[in-house]
Amino acid sequence: MTLELLGTASKSFLFTFAALLPILNPAATAPIFLGLTDGASKATRAILARRIARNMVVLMFGSMVVGSYVLDFFGISLPIVRVGGGLIVAAMAWRLLNASHTTVDSRTELAEAFTPEMARRQAFYPLTFPISCGPGSIAAAITVGVSLADTQLAYSLANLAGGGLALLSIGVILFLAFRYAQRLLKPLGEAGTLIFLRLSAFILFCLGVQIVWNGVSELLLSVWSAPH
């Protein structure tokens, strides 16, 4: 019985890790993190990376466990979540695309203004949600949670344990990607980093529009297929 539960937890770990890591994609969101924390010190970025990773794990695990029940309670459908979250993602990306290039003096002012207290306030919004884990990630977590549910309590708990360990592993990867993002992009130089940040912001904007379109398409399809 114990070996069966361990096997179930291992399969759930691999399933959750493979399903959510490509969607969360810490390597792709690390440049966005750098752009939104422009002017912050290394210590402040380290605090932010730790808090974002922790918030992501809690948010995604909560979505896996109770996400579907919460949406049912408020009468909110996944397409609505996608539309609302996609609009937020697109708005954040638009802000990054139109951000002006900072000079040395302005960076100094930003560094002084970006205090650890300010970092704590911004650790969840917008850095955790919707940048690190947006509506698409939450929808995927809810879907994974439904897939891991089992009629037998022991197997259901084993599935959740494996899924939780997978999220912790992804959280470690996200922390490392954010914590050392500046060092990873350093070989590009200042001009190359700026171009890469703009390109990442544009991709993020397109992703937000795609999320909105997916939600709108599902809503239109449900209206079209509804009996008249």
Residue 139's identity, in one-letter code, is: A
pLDDT score at 157 = 92
* Cα separation, 171 vs 130, whole angstroms: 16
Are 122 and 40 spatial neighbours (Cβ–Cβ below 8 Å)?
no
pLDDT score at 39 = 73
pLDDT along the chain (228 residues), means of 10: 86 90 84 81 88 95 89 82 78 75 44 60 82 83 83 89 96 95 77 74 80 86 77
- Nearest Cα neighbor of 170 from 14, 26, 5 is 26
pLDDT score at 103 = 43
pLDDT score at 29 = 86
Collapsed DSSP state (helix, strand, coil) of residue 76? coil
* Cα separation, 145 vs 148, whole angstroms: 5
The residue with tokens 């993002």 is 181
